[in-house]
Structure 1
Amino acid sequence: MNEALLRSLTPGVLGILVRRGADFAAAEDAVQEALVEAVRVWPAADSPDRGQPVRDPKGWLITVAWRKFLDATRADTARRRREDLADEEPPPGPAPAVDDTLQLYFLCAHPSLTPSSAVALTLRAVGGLTTRQIAQAYLVPEATMAQRISRAKRTVAGVRFNRPGDVATVLRVLYLVFNEGYSGDIDLAAEAIRLTRQLAARVDHPEAAGLLALMLLHHARRAARTAPDGGLVPLAEQDRARWDTALIAEGVEILQRALARDRLGEYQAQAAIAALHADAPAAEETDWVQIVEWYDELARLTDSPLVRLNRAVAVGEADGPRAGLAALAALDASDLPRHTAVAAYLHERDGDPATAARLYAEAARKAPNLPERDHLTRQAARLNTRLRA
């Protein structure tokens, strides 16, 4: 059984059912049942001693899903009008070449959905993941995720595509998926890259390419981000020999093509910053002056407090820690959970280990996750040990 094949076929099958008149929730349920049936039947059909392999996997899934949908509608007396669809079942044959994946992206990123619901629905409908897999990735009970997905499906059940979708919203959802990282047997970062590749191939939008480049450049450093004991390894301390040079080269090439179109967006600017980090053979050779310039562009595009926080770090590297602290002082700490950690880092670089140790300990208490908390705690302990020596 080729799970990757099933996941790649899911959005096309779902899109065809919706186009035939099935509402999204019922169609999605039918597709999931067809996938379960494929898992049960296909291994036997593909085995060397039993039957013939499935010649048209997508067509097979469409046929089975459509019949599952019809069975469900016949059993639902509240939806009698859909009984007429039983006479319209298309004959078996090759699956149509129409690609409905893009419509599903826009549907799953509908503005009426919360970000968490949009992400879950995208992973289910476009990514082809099961509810259990999504729940494991988000470290929540399967029942909780099932309720979230069910509410999302009800919300978009009556949506029809009579106007272009919002690419920016779709990109934001994929960006959220990527930033979730990975857990369990589903790597959400890799899944986000897979889905963004699909989107970038379907829309002529430089920010789709910018987001793909950004993901590739960040993902290229993944192997070096974690120590053998599971601890975080800061960028400056990472073993750059462990960075994936093929992903870096691909990301840079995609970014250059996007920038050449002269339609700068926030993902392209972020990718440019990531490319400058990737281009430095060693941390001390990083072009921090140019990174500050890109953060200025990014701040102009987004006016994001987080961007300005990261800019303060870059200013501290380019112009010295006191310049970084001055940039940091202009920000509202209450809006930025990592403000204290940045202040600790800049105070340490400015030669004030006592203040830095205190701030690292304070930042550890505010850390949003366990690996970050452990890292900040170790930083505080390191400085306190030095102060007692």
Structure 2
Amino acid sequence: MTVGVPKEIKNNESRVGMTPAGVYELVKNGHTVYIQSTAGEGSGFFDADYKKAGAIILDTIGQVYAMSDMIVKVKEPIQEEYQLVQPNQVVFTYFHFASSEPLTKAMIDSSAICIAYETVEDDEGTLPLLTPMSEVAGRMAIQQGAKYLEKPVKGRGVLLGGVPGVAPGKVLVLGAGVVGIQAAKMAAGLGAHVTILDINMKRLRYVNDVMPPHVVTEFSNEFNIRKHIKDHDLIIGGVLLKGAKAPNLITRDMLKEMRAGTVIVDVAVDQGGCVETTRPTTHEDPVYIIDDVVHYSVANMPGAVPYTSTMALTNVTLPYVLKLADLGWEKATETDASLQKGLNIVKGKVVYEEIMEAFGWEPVMA
């Protein structure tokens, strides 16, 4: 199979879909790998590294798409790439279709096979290809939140860890999944007081067992959310519904109950956000303010730490890339139940129910 790795062109996205180590494994298995020139530089991998591993370097993104049976990326194709995707081509990347109807329609029109990292699901119900980026984003959420709490950037002027004689800042985490636990861990490490909400009591019991005493748990409902947003300095949105649009747990009217300078970091932005006022931002222009509340909702947060993120991501994606290349997408998804759940759109047909539900589309009868 021919496998292509284009350079990411989303704003300030420096990750790359494959490292030289991945190229080496594919070439060793008899596959051809095309890498767009400079695709890996943002992550610290250079054309010479890829050539040494056996890749063929191509000059343009158009060449990579045109010459490849399978495209391996990090982020979803953006508008400039829509027309580059070929019929029957496998595109293996993060898609987050439920948050973008134009992207969904474009990939339907392309007649490609779209396999989404974020819906590949193992036997235990976890998402192995989403987990490493959720770990990065959860930890980064506290770093970014702490920065934007500073007064020069319109935050409350609160130091999360406090100092002797001054109480620490308060962090509210919505969701006790991977993002939420990593965020709570980082915030607790800084000395902040952390409240984490979830509707899954099993997850809350786990948090209680592994976190220090200044991380407290409560059941998530609107009453408790409204209670805590009034006196917490930093709010982390870490809610995930597999492949579906995130629920709006914080509505527009709730902003007026928060103190001026409260910071919201909505990590769920890729799936539409769990805050009603969330809209995707970029690393170039990451925040906006509504009702004196600072919103940080960068849609590719891990892209700011591309070396760490690329290594963490490709550690888990490479085995699936090899399986798809060795067996072809049909046999690979037939024989691997977790990879089959990654199928979102196949040759013009949406095959992942949550995408249909997100847009209110009627299922297509077979």
| TM range, smaller chain | under 0.3
Higher RCO (CA 8 Å, separation ≥ 6 residues):
2
Which of the pair is proportionally richer in helix?
1
TM-score with structure 2 setting the length = 0.25
TM-score with structure 1 setting the length = 0.24
Which of the pair is proportionally richer in strand?
2
Structure with larger Rg: 1
